[in-house]
Amino acid sequence: MVVEVTKGIKISVQHQYREDYSRPESKHYFFSYLITIENISDYSVKLLRRHWYIYDSAGFHSEVEGEGVVGEQPEIQPGETYQYSSGCNLITEIGSMQGTYLMQRMVDKQTFEVIIPNFQLIVPYRLN
């Protein structure tokens, strides 16, 4: 698991290779990830947008940007957590992801970026 705290917002990422959804013979490698967003600040926040950077070992780079996450723009109170899961396809056995969330403090509507830490996506047999 990788963890990053930005301005009182703790982002934790757990990820795994999904052999059941992958097709190596077709250069299709699927990874799932679970994101936990924990509000350890003193104010309520709302997740407005996401911006992901996705890399693979062949030099391919893509970006995914949009409103909210998995169709939601959650409001997270102090001391609360929000979790969601999603996935990523790569054409190589090794890659990485990282990004940012645009958050808004509910008390004064001020926006700020929260770092999604870099995490490595590696097919397990590549580690042997």
CATH number, position 7:
2.60.40.1470
Residue 7: which pLDDT band, with cuts at 50, 70 and 90? very high
pLDDT of residue 44: 98
Among 38, 21, 32, 20, CA closest to 88? 32
* pLDDT > 70 fraction of the chain, expressed in percent and rounded: 99
pLDDT of residue 25: 96
Give me the number of domains the chain comprises.
1
Residue 127 has pLDDT above 80, yes or no: no
pLDDT tens across 20-68, in order?
Answer: 999 999 999 999 999 999 999 999 999 999 999 999 999 999 999 999 9
- Whether pTM > 0.85 for this model: the answer is yes
Residue 128 has pLDDT above 90, yes or no: no
Task: Give me the domain span that covers residue 10.
Answer: 2-127
What H or E segment, with its residue span, contains residue 48? strand 45-56
